Amino acid sequence: MARRGGAGPLWALSGAALGVCLAGVAGQLVEPSTAPPKPKPPPLTKETVVFWDMRLWHVVGIFSLFVLSIIITLCCVFNCRVPRTRKEIEARYLQRKAAKMYTDKLETVPPLNELTEVPGDDKKKKKKKDSVDTVAIKVEEDEKNEAKK
């Protein structure tokens, strides 16, 4: 077998590179310590005391009741029930339309005192609509009527 020229230094160079790599890997290896292993934290269960001597299930229960009460309050205040069927949606639309028509009609109706006449009310003594009779005014009118008699 014939050796080619220059093959020897290539083997030497690759051997040196391999040695440097192995030295770097060996530096990364951790030597085992003689200290005892760290204890694992206790597992989280429903009986674990979280804070203020309350267990985990107490905290979860109180938080869920708080969230549920907020949801119920908002649903009651804003009346946010979602209709389930097309029939209910159409019925709600017709109900709103009828209510709007009713309020529009109600605004056009004049006040009751303009529609009816009060029995025994003299048209001659009719006062201004803006004036309101008070007890003092009635007493003064009675005094004037007695003075005339």
pLDDT, averaged in runs of 10, over the chain (149 residues): 57 73 68 82 82 87 95 82 81 93 86 70 55 72 81
Question: What is the 8-class DSSP label of residue 47?
Answer: T
DSSP H helix total and E strand total for the chain? 5, 2
Separation of alpha carbons 56 and 46, rounded Å: 5
Residue 69 resides in a domain: yes
Contacts 24+ apart (CB under 8 A), 138-145: none
Residue 134 resides in a domain: no
Residue 92 resides in a domain: yes
Rounded to two decimals, the pTM is 0.32
Q: Looking at the 3D structure of the chain, how many domains does it have?
A: 1
Strand partners, 51: 54
Residue 81 resides in a domain: yes
Q: In 3-state terms, what secondary structure has residue 93?
A: helix
Range of the domain at 78: 52-109
Q: pLDDT at position 85, please?
A: 87
Q: pLDDT at position 97, please?
A: 95
Residue 131 resides in a domain: no
